[in-house]
Amino acid sequence: MNKPLRANAQNQAHALSEVKLVNRTALAKRYSVSPRQIDTWRADGVLPYVKFGRRCLRFPVDRCDAIFESYVVGGAK
């Protein structure tokens, strides 16, 4: 019975290890905005994040890129 649970935990850990996580300063530089704007988007629920403890937040770059890609207006499709 524990084997499927263990395999599931390993799959989740493996999936998370492939995701590039960055802090708010790096994400702010990536999008040319202030770190405070990243905080606002996080608080508003726009940006997904991973919380490691009380103060350590990391943002999955690929998911954040996908969110901002959905805001693109105009241009060739």
pLDDT at position 14 is 55
What CATH code is carried by the domain that includes residue 31? 1.10.10
Q: pLDDT tens-digit profile of 16-75?
A: 567 799 999 999 999 999 999 999 999 999 999 999 999 999 999 999 999 999 999 987
Could you tell me if residue 6 is inside a domain?
A: no
Q: How many domains does the structure of the chain reveal?
A: 1
What string of DSSP letters covers 1-68?
Answer: -HHHHHHHHHHHHHHHHTS-EE-HHHHHHHHTS-HHHHHHHHHTT-S--EEETTTEEEEEHHHHHHHH
For the whole model, what pTM was predicted?
0.72
Please report whether residue 38 resides in a domain.
yes
Looking at residue 37, its pLDDT comes to 97
Print the domain residue range for 35: 18-77
Instruction: Flag whether 5 is in a domain.
Output: no
Q: Are 50 and 58 within 8 A, CB to CB?
A: yes
CA R_g for the chain: 16
Residue 27 belongs to a domain: yes
Q: Does residue 26 belong to any structural domain of this protein?
A: yes
Residue 13 in any domain: the answer is no
41 close to 4: Cβ distance less than 8 angstroms? no
